[in-house]
């Protein structure tokens, strides 16, 4: 069998390794954990979720919901494991964090075509290879990739993970279970705040002491994962129109919409750990305990993990990669995951899938699959490789990058659903 190397066993690398192995290739999967860990990683399993345990919306009217459905139909390992370890979260696909990673690891290690090597790779090897070392690529490998491309416009931004608390430490006399607009089951714990409580909280949050993060600057904070304290400094009402918005929720104790609401989402299948939704932070741990305990329902909260801030590194992909995530100069060297500039768990998985099936086709001297820009998986790859993009920044999948409909459809939800149905029809036609 032809051997393909995959470097990195995160979401993208695991998906890429699986797709290649399923197509009959011998895969050598190199993963530096547990030989070498990063500050953001906590376990040795593959596909570890270092931030939220949510893979976001699951409805077809939502672009990431469409991307997930595409991947399901294409036989994605990551989606199989996510669906199998799902925990209730309203209209979102959230997973048992460690159950999910454990299942991915077991499936990868038990595949007869995959050999796992625990090692830190510090040079870009000759192809065929897919490099998916992630947003926390080691310094040595980061420098090697820079040398490989012969340039220094490797980019980076800072990402953050939210804290986790135990269910038993939440004061449920000051909180209630509900999903916004009563969509799905009541999967979120909602912690109400009065105007006075909210204003005092924002004041302390904005003034709280941060942990030292070398090189951190507000302008480098990715808007989709902005630390909660940075939002607090941007204005008193910023949080109320962001993660603390009360819209669609009514406090059963008063029958009214609260002034602000902190939502907690279940983080594991047992339902005894919850994360603070939207509370990515890089405050010092004692400051997190002090300030977040000002939330009335969390006055005695037990924090089992505090939020952390870490550096994310990504390529200037429009200059370097094609629409299959491969080096424009050498298609046998491909990249995948957040290091390509796709942002999000599902997007990382999609890049690993596309990089792998495209490389498989090239090795077998077949045409690479053409997902075009009518599908979410294809549109995301085309955005990342669009050489006309002047100032490249990481991108979540969204309907704005998918080819518009040829006909007019009234209503945003109806239009999005029509785009989704067109995409799924395109996938079905590709399989024939």
CATH of the domain at 276: 2.40.30
189 with 278: CB under 8 angstroms?
A: no
* Secondary structure (3-state) at 159: strand
DSSP 218-264: GGGB-GGG--HHHHHHT-TTTTTTTTT--TT--BTTTTB--SEEEEE
What is d(CA 226, CA 211) in angstroms, rounded to the nearest whole number? 15
pLDDT at 330: 97
Number of domains the chain is built from = 2
CA distance from start to end of the chain:
27
| CB within 8 Å of 29: residues ≥ 6 apart | 5, 6, 9, 13, 17, 108, 114, 115, 116, 117
pLDDT at 217: 43
Asked if residue 63 belongs to a known ligand binding site, the reply is: no
What is d(CA 51, CA 95) in angstroms, rounded to the nearest whole number? 12
* Secondary structure (3-state) at 38: coil
In this predicted model, what pLDDT tens digit does every residue of 78-88 receive, in sequence order?
999 999 999 98
Task: Kindly state the average pLDDT of the residues 12-22.
Answer: 98
pTM of the complete model beyond 0.85: no
Query: Both tokens of residue 425?
Result: 């029809």
What is d(CA 379, CA 371) in angstroms, rounded to the nearest whole number? 8
Do 140 and 171 belong to one domain? no
Do 190 and 82 belong to one domain? no
158 with 216: CB under 8 angstroms?
A: yes
CA triple 185-95-114, angle to 5 deg: 150
Confidence band of 116 (pLDDT split at 50, 70, 90): very high
Q: Give yes or no for residue 222 having a pLDDT over 60.
A: no
Q: Which of 269, 293, 311 is the last residue of a domain?
A: 311
- The conformation of residue 91, written as its DSSP 8-state character, comes to T
Question: What DSSP element (H or E) covers 317?
Answer: helix 317-320
Q: Which of 291, 311, 331 is the last residue of a domain?
A: 311
Task: Kindly state the average pLDDT of the residues 49-67.
Answer: 89
In this predicted model, what pLDDT tens digit does every residue of 183-206 receive, in sequence order?
667 789 999 999 999 999 999 999
Do 267 and 325 belong to one domain? no
Please choose, from the candidates 173, 191, 187, 208, the residue with its C-alpha nearest in 3D space to the C-alpha of residue 244: 191
Asked if residue 12 belongs to a known ligand binding site, the reply is: yes
Measured N-to-C along each axis, helices 11-22 and 97-110 cross at an angle, to the nearest 10 degrees, of: 30
Confidence band of 369 (pLDDT split at 50, 70, 90): very high
pLDDT above 70 covers what percent of the chain? 93
Do 268 and 346 belong to one domain? no
Whether omega before 128 lies within 30 degrees of 0, making that bond cis, reads yes
Do 334 and 425 belong to one domain? yes
In this predicted model, what pLDDT tens digit does every residue of 316-358 receive, in sequence order?
899 999 999 999 999 999 999 999 989 889 999 999 999 999 9
Query: Which residue carries 């979102």 as its tokens?
Result: 92
In this predicted model, what pLDDT tens digit does every residue of 125-171 receive, in sequence order?
998 999 999 888 888 998 899 899 986 666 777 667 789 899 989 99
- The conformation of residue 297, written as its DSSP 8-state character, comes to G
Tally of CB atoms within 10 A around 92:
26
Lowest-pLDDT choice from 46-55, 213-222, 315-324, 410-419: 213-222
* Strand locations in 21-121 (E): 26-31, 54-57, 86-87, 92-95, 114-118
Do 407 and 338 belong to one domain? yes
81 with 103: CB under 8 angstroms?
A: yes
Do 290 and 366 belong to one domain? no
Query: Both tokens of residue 96?
Result: 């048992």
Do 46 and 121 belong to one domain? yes
Mean pLDDT of the chain: 90
Q: Give yes or no for residue 226 having a pLDDT over 90.
A: no
Do 140 and 102 belong to one domain? yes
CATH of the domain at 137: 3.50.50.60
Cα–chain center distance at 190 = 23
Asked if residue 13 belongs to a known ligand binding site, the reply is: yes
Do 58 and 125 belong to one domain? yes
pLDDT at 141: 92
57 with 65: CB under 8 angstroms?
A: yes
pLDDT at 216: 43
Question: What DSSP element (H or E) covers 276?
Answer: strand 273-276
What is d(CA 83, CA 89) in angstroms, rounded to the nearest whole number? 12
Which structural domain range is residue 86 located in? 3-154+315-431
What is d(CA 347, CA 12) in angstroms, rounded to the nearest whole number? 9
**Integer angstrom CA distances of residue 291 from 275, 277, 310:** 16, 16, 21
Asked if residue 91 belongs to a known ligand binding site, the reply is: no
Query: Both tokens of residue 64?
Result: 């990431």
262 with 193: CB under 8 angstroms?
A: yes
Please choose, from the candidates 11, 4, 3, the residue with its C-alpha nearest in 3D space to the C-alpha of residue 105: 11
Q: Give yes or no for residue 274 having a pLDDT over 80.
A: yes
Strand partners, 159: 310
Task: Kindly state the average pLDDT of the residues 246-250.
Answer: 90
Strand partners, 310: 159
Q: Which of 311, 328, 360 is the last residue of a domain?
A: 311
Do 209 and 291 belong to one domain? yes
Question: What DSSP element (H or E) covers 344?
Answer: none
In this predicted model, what pLDDT tens digit does every residue of 129-141 receive, in sequence order?
999 998 888 889 9
Do 293 and 255 belong to one domain? yes
């Amino acid at each position: 069998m032809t051997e393909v190397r995959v470097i990195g066993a995160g979401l993208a690398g695991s998906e890429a390794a699986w797709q290649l192995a399923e197509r009959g290739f011998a895969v050598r999967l190199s993963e530096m954990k547990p030989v070498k860990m990063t500050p953001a990683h906590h376990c040795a399993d593959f596909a570890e979720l270092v931030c939220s345990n949510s893979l976001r919306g699951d409805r077809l009217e939502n672009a990431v919901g469409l991307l997930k459905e595409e991947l399901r139909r294409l036989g994605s390992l990551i989606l199989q494991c996510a669906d199998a370890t799902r925990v209730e979260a309203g209209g979102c696909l959230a997973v048992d964090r460690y159950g999910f990673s454990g299942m991915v690891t077991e499936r990868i290690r038990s595949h007869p075509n995959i050999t796992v090597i625990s090692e830190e790779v510090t040079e870009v090897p000759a192809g065929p290879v897919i490099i998916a070392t992630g947003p926390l690529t080691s310094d040595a490998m980061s420098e090697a990739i820079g040398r490989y491309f012969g340039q220094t416009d490797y980019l980076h931004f800072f990402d953050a993970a939210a804290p986790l608390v135990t269910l038993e430490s939440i004061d449920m006399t000051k909180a209630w279970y509900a999903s916004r607009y009563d969509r799905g089951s009541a999967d979120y714990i909602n912690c109400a705040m009065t105007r006075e409580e909210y204003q005092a909280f924002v004041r302390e949050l904005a003034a709280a002491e941060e942990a030292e993060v070398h090189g951190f600057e507000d302008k480098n904070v990715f808007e989709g994962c902005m630390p909660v304290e940075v939002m607090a400094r941007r204005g008193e009402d910023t949080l109320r129109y962001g993660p603390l918005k009360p819209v669609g929720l009514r406090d059963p104790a008063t029958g009214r919409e609260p002034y602000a609401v902190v939502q907690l989402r279940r983080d594991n299948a047992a339902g005894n750990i919850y994360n603070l939704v939207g509370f990515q932070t890089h405050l010092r741990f004692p400051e997190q305990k002090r300030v977040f305990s000002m939330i009335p329902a969390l006055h005695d909260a037990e924090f089992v993990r505090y939020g952390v801030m870490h550096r994310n590194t990504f390529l200037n992909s429009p200059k370097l990669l094609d629409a299959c995530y491969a080096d424009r100069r050498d298609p046998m060297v491909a990249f995948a995951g957040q290091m390509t500039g796709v942002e999000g768990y599902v997007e990382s998985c999609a890049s690993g899938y596309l990089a792998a099936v495209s490389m498989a086709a090239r090795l077998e001297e077949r045409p690479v699959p053409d997902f075009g820009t009518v599908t979410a998986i294809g549109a995301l790859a085309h955005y990342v490789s669009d050489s006309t993009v002047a100032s490249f920044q990481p991108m979540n999948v969204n309907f704005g990058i998918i080819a518009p409909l040829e006909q007019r459809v009234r209503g945003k939800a109806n239009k999005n659903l029509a785009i989704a149905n067109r995409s799924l029809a395109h996938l079905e036609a590709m399989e024939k």
